[in-house]
Amino acid sequence: MHKLYRQIRTGALLCLMLTPLFYIIFVIYTKQLFKADSIACYRLRGNSLPDISEANPKKGKSIFFHETSCNSYIEGKITLFPRQACAVESAALLNPDYDVYLLFTSPGLIQYENTQSDRIIKALLSYKNVKIQHLDYEKYTKNTPVENLYKDGKVEASLYARSHASDVLRYLTLWKYGGIYLDLDVIVIKSLQDLPPNYAGSESENNVAAGVINFSPNGKGHEFAQKCLDDLHKNFNGKDWGYNGPGVITRLLKKLCNAKKAKEMLKKDCKGFKVYPKETFYPVEWWNWKIYFDSNYNEKMLNITKNSYIIHVWNKHSVNTKIKIKSDVPYSIFAKRYCPKVFAECDEHF
């Protein structure tokens, strides 16, 4: 009896000693997983959507969006914000001959409950050319020129992990399949189907942006994508926000166009690559993003965007600026026209 008592007491003491340790480990892990820029959820396994690695996207005839946050894991199901969904719907609506892929790096499944997120996901899937799938980052990067960036923890250790995870994916996806990459903070306002096979747009006199990129799946386009991956493999920089995104395409085009600034590239022979002026995809500069939310600019915006294919609302700056669905500002006007199904499912704000 005394021996049994000692065993129970020893076990209890051991539990008491280990419980704080387990708690500390749990707290550290949870903080890592849920910190604002963590990509820890990429390494988690569980039930998820069909994986893009098992699919066969139409090469050169697909549009790709990447959702690289861990929001869906945190919420316990695939979730999407209205403005993200608007980007996808506008692309699908105006480019019916293209398949439009929305790829989630966060694990999770779609659950059709009566929430705003679930309703807008259902609205997106009413388009036959919209496909929502999972992207397993480890599997997706395996045996590619950028495998080391994820395998060795370089992306995860970045000061801007989610942004840089997205930067790597946009070039990798276009290397795999060709086609069009778009950021999730855009609205497509004109069909992209007749544009040339290899292009991007300048966002200023100096730089080319990485929010809209098209590479052909073969020939020169694939060569351009390869050069971008080689740049990332050799020069990935986790301390500079723009180095791995716009920095990569700008450095490539400086060489292709034999130019020092984006404004010089507009009239240059860039070896089969087209650089568009900023009004084509970025009609409003990032420092003027607030005019998208100001009704005083409604008429001016129509003039600014008359030659635009896409508007870019600079989510990094505008994400916390809410729009009431009954308001009449440039952003909501575009949304009502080019993502009508998503806009109709918004509760109070867009």
Predicted confidence band of residue 43 (pLDDT cuts 50, 70, 90): very high
pLDDT by residue (tens digit) across 263-301? 999 999 899 999 999 999 999 999 999 999 999 999 999
Same domain flag for 225 and 148: yes
Residue 7 has pLDDT above 80, yes or no: no
What is the percent of the chain where pLDDT is above 90? 89
- pLDDT for the residue numbered 30: 42
For residue 296, what are the domain limits? 286-344
Distance CA 232, CA 236 (A): 5
Mean pLDDT confidence for 132-136 = 98
Read off the pLDDT of each residue in 193-207 and give the average, rounded to a whole number. Answer: 96
| Residue 155's pLDDT band (cuts 50, 70, 90) | very high
43 within some domain: no
Specify if 46 maps to a domain: no
Task: Tally the domains of the chain.
Answer: 3
39: in domain? no
pTM of the prediction? 0.90
Q: Are residues 9 and 117 in the same domain?
A: no
| Whether residue 162 sits in one domain with residue 24 | no
Residue 160 in tokens: 């801007």
Domain co-membership, 105 together with 215 = yes
Q: Of the candidates 279, 300, 328, which is a domain's last residue?
A: 279
Residue 184 lies in a domain: yes
Q: What does the pLDDT average to over 303-330?
A: 96
First vs last C-alpha separation in the chain: 69
CA–CA gap between residue 248 and residue 261 (Å, rounded): 14
**pLDDT band with cut points at 50, 70 and 90 for residue 9:** low
Statement to judge: residues 254 and 302 lie in one domain: no
Q: Distance between CA atoms of 328 and 48, rounded to whole angstroms?
A: 38
Shared domain for 179 and 144, answered yes or no, is yes
CATH classification of the domain holding 73 = 3.90.550
Token pair 């988690």: residue: 44
Distance CA(224)–CA(230), nearest Å, equals 10
Token duo for residue 147: 């495998």
Most distant CA pair in the chain, distance? 92
- What pLDDT does 45 receive? 87
* DSSP E strands, the chain: 62-67, 99-104, 130-134, 179-182, 186-188, 199-202, 208-215, 274-276, 310-312
Q: Identify whether residues 112 and 15 lie together within a single domain.
A: no
Q: CA–CA separation, 322 vs 317, rounded Å?
A: 12
Domain final position from 260, 279, 298: 279
β-pair type (208-215, 199-202):
antiparallel
Strand ranges (DSSP E) for 197-327?
199-202, 208-215, 274-276, 310-312
**Residues 138, 25 share a domain:** no
The answer to whether position 42 is within a domain reads no
Within a domain: 350: no
- Give the per-residue pLDDT at 37: 85
Task: Assess whether 172 and 250 both reside in one domain.
Answer: yes
Task: Give the C-alpha separation, 65 to 58, whole Å.
Answer: 15
Mean pLDDT, the chain, rounded, equals 92
60 shares its domain with 22 = no
Q: What is the pLDDT of residues 51-82, one digit of tens each?
A: 999 999 999 999 999 999 999 999 999 999 99
pLDDT at 16: 46
In a domain, 45, yes or no: no
Q: What Cα–Cα distance (Å) separates residue 114 from each residue in 117, 121, 122, 127?
A: 8, 11, 11, 20
Q: Do 57 and 167 belong to one domain?
A: yes
Q: Domain check: are 207 and 311 in the same one?
A: no
